[in-house]
Structure 1
Amino acid sequence: MLGYSGGMGFDTFGISILNFNPDSQLNITTTQEIPYGFDAANVTMCDKEGNFQFSSNGVRVYNAEHKWMQGGENLNENENHGYILPQGVFALPHPRDSNLYAFFHGRKGYGVRVTKTWYSEIDMRENEGLGAVTSMQPLVQDTLLFGQFTAVKHGNGRDWWILFQHYCLEREDCKNNFFYKVLLSPDGVEVSEQKITDGLITETGAGQATFTPDGSKYIASQGDMFDEPAYIDIYDFDRCDGQLGNRVRIETVVLDRGERENGGIGGIAVSPNSRFLYFNTWKKIFQYDLWADDIKASEVVVAEYDGFVATFPTGFLYPQLAPDGRIYICTTNSTRYLHVILRPNEKGALCRVVQHAIELPTYNAFSIPNHPNYRLGAWEGSACDTLSDLVSTEWGREKMRDKVTVFRILHLMR
């Protein structure tokens, strides 16, 4: 779900609903009846049959009738439209009970940092199936990086790992930065810490974080100051014990204010086969081969912003891997367009970046849903592969192969 609340007198103000059910193929509808909108914080949740359960814009939780969910009325205050915190909210099926969801949200502080996070439980048996937030408790009450909340399945295929990176206030402290790691199990949440002491300075700023779809790597991008380079940190991740290791640092292009070569920081996404990392600034999309011996040396620019303007520039902002196996990228301004990487499993230009490929029925400002890989199963053959029948499900096949299909996307809403 993307867009502004309806009722503004224009049919281009409302909510665009991107539906990948039942066969992972994209269908887009719109409504002006939803009385709330989304900014950078965005999550929508369906059950395993694809039935819509609830959504959140980081300010409130809304039920399937798009009304305030009981207990979820006041996540954050003083926000009329939606919460400006990229990856600042997400939800997971709870390992304890198929009727429960674990819900996580943060509160931003001064500058590009988060000061508090909360863990809540949503019980869908309440209110005749419309659900209720039945508990909410502080989780990590510390200064964290701006958004970048993400999760991955535990190696047992049932539980979850959630990572938050600490915000270092003093540059010298950044040499010994650490992560908060949260284990979500049937017993609830358990918080631990892991220090990263490899001497690489972890600057603070905006960016995005993700796990590879196979769960073997955790990746985060950072960039705050213009005229300074952005960077990407790539870690090996052990889904059994939650340990990060073998950090690889990639220094990318120098950021600028957008009217020059690169623009500001965007985000990252990884191909369904877990091989290719995509990193973007406002003006360029880079591809890296995670299977290469020298990941930095594999860097290739797969797209440069073509200058298309729809009242405002439509540069590249936050990407998200979708159930159909493609990567969708929202724009740097309030526009009606999404960019698409049609074949992210392919190397170089064969990945087929199509700029402003989808014209949405309504405007969208900086928003893309925050979803981990719900399809990931157990880490087969590992020491923690102790539960049966919890296997991975493949991502949707990439069916957009030719010009005819691309034409259909471009004219989907016309």
Structure 2
Amino acid sequence: MIAVFLTFFCFTIQSQNNCNYLFDNNWILGGKDDTIDGDKYGGTILRFDPELLITEYNKHVSQRVTSAEISSREGNLLIYSNGCDIFNSQNNIIENGENINPGEVHDLFCVDNDGYPGLNSMFILPSAYDASIFFLIHIAETINHSPDPAFSIQAQYVYSTTIKIDKDLGIEKVISKNEILLNDTSMLGSPICAVRHANGKDWWILTPDRWNNGYYIFQVDSIGPSFIREQYIGDETNPRATGAEGKFSPDGSHFAWYHPRNGVFLYAFDRGTGYLSEFNRIDIPKVDFITGGCEFSSNSRYLYINTDTSLYQLDVQANDIQGSLMHIADYDRFGAPLPTLFLYMALTPDNRIFMNTSNGTQYLHVIQNPNERGLESNFTQHAIKLPTINFLTFPNFPNYRLSAINSSYCDSLNAIIDSPNTVSDVSIFPNPSSGIIYISGPENPIQYEIYNLNGMKIQNGVCRTWEILIENPGIYLLNVFLKNKWEIKKVMVMR
């Protein structure tokens, strides 16, 4: 029975293939339609179909630094947000889509559709369990009214907003809004990043703590988004590193983020357990600038880092990652009329890397061949001219095409469940059970998760009574978090 269970569970993971999804097919840049003193303001849409098509996109809202959009699986724009409201492809606020990120900061910045001020602070995730459901994950800021505050505006909430879109039925509406996943002014506020779970269905989300070396980790599963844990690893964050950019590698094996006050923080990542490991800090020549960018090549080997005036490349597969640091280019002093200084980077669906500028300009820089080493990567400055001025706006997409793996998660199940000699801190009884499971272990309370045969999480929470109820007969995986690790147990419920 155990062998049959594992075979079925691992097959479910492997069969979740997302390779053809085009959720990131449209990038919306720019602001409100307007022309001031001869400068062309307004929206621009970049569509990868598969050749890049750039067109002016008339809209009455500005996205500024806070931007999220998502397309259908087939690549047609569905919705976008500027951190204030949620709009459809016709630029209309969808049903119940107004007033996300409520509070003083919203009221201060969202007047006249000007856009929320959070850098790299939101994205949209599709549900793998219902094709009509999407989760907008967004960070809200608050004004600190305490005397002599260290930061006058600081991140406070990680919110989840659930959106239902069914074009056949004409449904575009928010079904739950501003649900609090985390309320903690200790978080840095940027970056917040997502990556597919090893099962190819769920998502992991993480964002750094401002005051230490912690990372807040969330999971999106069949139940929806929830906060899982805070993990402490590596060097402490500089509390003034707000505005950093972070990215998971396209294969999900690494997480990196960069701010000039930190340097590069690089970790290995386990998509099965959601844990960071193997911390590396890479020093970049210091600059006095408030933001910095980073992005991985599509083959996940090279990590690009930019200050406002310089671009570098790292080989994350090198034995000496610090020693692999290579200078690629410096800003060429081009201006039209404002300098096209470097800001953030994003991997495109056609495997190039685009870079926006830190001023309101009509230009994007491009790394044409990011899978190549050094200067062969072919960095071209101001390579793309946009029809309208773009003021800092850039997408924060995860890799929607990352599929399930059959290594870390299934291998860990085989190792734990099949081995008769496994030493465990957890005892479960009775097993088989009529539905009530008792847990014996060294800690109280304990965090737990329960998965069914399809790899779907059916229950999770914090157990304080050492008693868990599973209502339906079947075979389940019970994951219990003890001593900073997950203990995985097979449970059988019989009636």
* TM-score band, normalised by shorter chain: 0.7 to 0.9
Aligned to 1:104: 137
Aligned to 2:67: 42
Distance 2:189 2:354 in 1: 21
Aligned to 1:393: none
Distance 2:237 2:190 in 1: 16
* Structure 1 position 184 matched with structure 2 position 220: yes
1:131 to 162, 168, 172: 172
C-alpha spacing 1:352/1:167, structure 2 compared with 1 (3 Å): same
- 2:164, 2:172 within 8 Å by CA — same for their partners in 1? yes
C-alpha spacing 1:308/1:74, structure 2 compared with 1 (3 Å): same
* Structure 1 position 195 matched with structure 2 position 231: yes
**SS of structure 2 residue aligned to 1:349:** helix
Aligned to 1:280: 306
Q: Once the 2 structures are TM-superposed, how far is the Cα of residue 197 of structure 1 from its aligned partner? A: 4.7
1:3 to 30, 34, 37: 30
Q: Once the 2 structures are TM-superposed, how far is the Cα of residue 147 of structure 1 from its aligned partner? A: 2.1
Residue-by-residue CA offset, 1:208-239 (whole Å, 9 max, x unaligned): 11100000011111235xxxxx4111111110
Distance 2:323 2:259 in 1: 20
1:160 to 191, 200, 203: 203
C-alpha spacing 1:112/1:366, structure 2 compared with 1 (3 Å): farther
Q: Once the 2 structures are TM-superposed, how far is the Cα of residue 127 of structure 1 from its aligned partner? A: 10
1:335 to 316, 336, 361: 361
Q: Once the 2 structures are TM-superposed, how far is the Cα of residue 106 of structure 1 from its aligned partner? A: 1.1
Residue-by-residue CA offset, 1:109-155 (whole Å, 9 max, x unaligned): 44574111101110013895351110021111112113211100000
TM-score if structure 2 supplies the norm length? 0.71
**SS of structure 1 residue aligned to 2:218:** strand
* Structure 1 position 94 matched with structure 2 position 131: no
Aligned to 1:85: 118
**SS of structure 2 residue aligned to 1:253:** coil
Aligned to 1:212: 249
Q: Once the 2 structures are TM-superposed, how far is the Cα of residue 15 of structure 1 from its aligned partner? A: 0.6
Letter in 1 for 2:172: G
Letter in 2 for 1:236: A
- 1:268, 1:318 within 8 Å by CA — same for their partners in 2? yes
Letter in 2 for 1:208: E
More off after superposition, 142-151 vs 346-355: 142-151
Letter in 2 for 1:217: H
Distance 2:191 2:367 in 1: 22
Letter in 2 for 1:49: E
Distance 2:121 2:287 in 1: 23
- 1:264, 1:281 within 8 Å by CA — same for their partners in 2? no
C-alpha spacing 1:305/1:112, structure 2 compared with 1 (3 Å): farther
Aligned to 1:267: 293
**SS of structure 1 residue aligned to 2:382:** strand
Residue-by-residue CA offset, 1:275-303 (whole Å, 9 max, x unaligned): 00001000000100001011111111111
Letter in 2 for 1:251: D
Q: Once the 2 structures are TM-superposed, how far is the Cα of residue 387 of structure 1 from its aligned partner? A: 6.5
Letter in 1 for 2:176: S
More off after superposition, 244-253 vs 8-17: 8-17
**SS of structure 2 residue aligned to 1:297:** helix
* Rg comparison, structure with higher value: 2
C-alpha spacing 1:91/1:294, structure 2 compared with 1 (3 Å): same
- 1:220, 1:232 within 8 Å by CA — same for their partners in 2? yes
Distance 2:312 2:381 in 1: 14
- 1:126, 1:132 within 8 Å by CA — same for their partners in 2? no
1:140 to 161, 182, 191: 182
Aligned to 2:264: 232
TM-score if structure 1 supplies the norm length? 0.84
Q: Once the 2 structures are TM-superposed, how far is the Cα of residue 31 of structure 1 from its aligned partner? A: 3.0
- 2:368, 2:377 within 8 Å by CA — same for their partners in 1? yes
Distance 1:164 1:19 in 2: 29
**SS of structure 1 residue aligned to 2:293:** strand
* Structure 1 position 67 matched with structure 2 position 92: yes
C-alpha spacing 1:51/1:11, structure 2 compared with 1 (3 Å): farther
Q: Once the 2 structures are TM-superposed, how far is the Cα of residue 61 of structure 1 from its aligned partner? A: 0.7
* Structure 1 position 381 matched with structure 2 position 381: no
1:221 to 243, 258, 263: 258
Distance 2:322 2:395 in 1: 28
Aligned to 1:315: 341
Query: Which runs of no fewer than 5 residues in structure 2 stay unpaired?
Result: 1-27, 143-150, 412-452, 456-495
| Count of residue correspondences | 366
2:78 to 53, 61, 71: 53
Letter in 2 for 1:39: R
C-alpha spacing 1:285/1:118, structure 2 compared with 1 (3 Å): same
C-alpha spacing 1:101/1:253, structure 2 compared with 1 (3 Å): same
Query: Aligned Cα RMSD in Å?
Result: 2.0
More off after superposition, 139-148 vs 363-372: 139-148
Distance 2:259 2:34 in 1: 37
C-alpha spacing 1:13/1:297, structure 2 compared with 1 (3 Å): same
Letter in 2 for 1:4: G
Query: Which runs of no fewer than 5 residues in structure 1 stay unpaired?
Result: 169-173, 225-229, 257-262, 389-414
Aligned to 1:408: none
- 2:68, 2:80 within 8 Å by CA — same for their partners in 1? yes
- 1:112, 1:145 within 8 Å by CA — same for their partners in 2? no
Distance 1:332 1:305 in 2: 12
- 2:354, 2:367 within 8 Å by CA — same for their partners in 1? yes
**SS of structure 1 residue aligned to 2:130:** coil
**SS of structure 1 residue aligned to 2:41:** coil
- 2:231, 2:275 within 8 Å by CA — same for their partners in 1? no
Distance 1:31 1:193 in 2: 41
Distance 2:372 2:454 in 1: 34
Distance 2:167 2:75 in 1: 19
Aligned to 1:15: 43
Aligned to 2:275: 243
Distance 1:250 1:113 in 2: 27
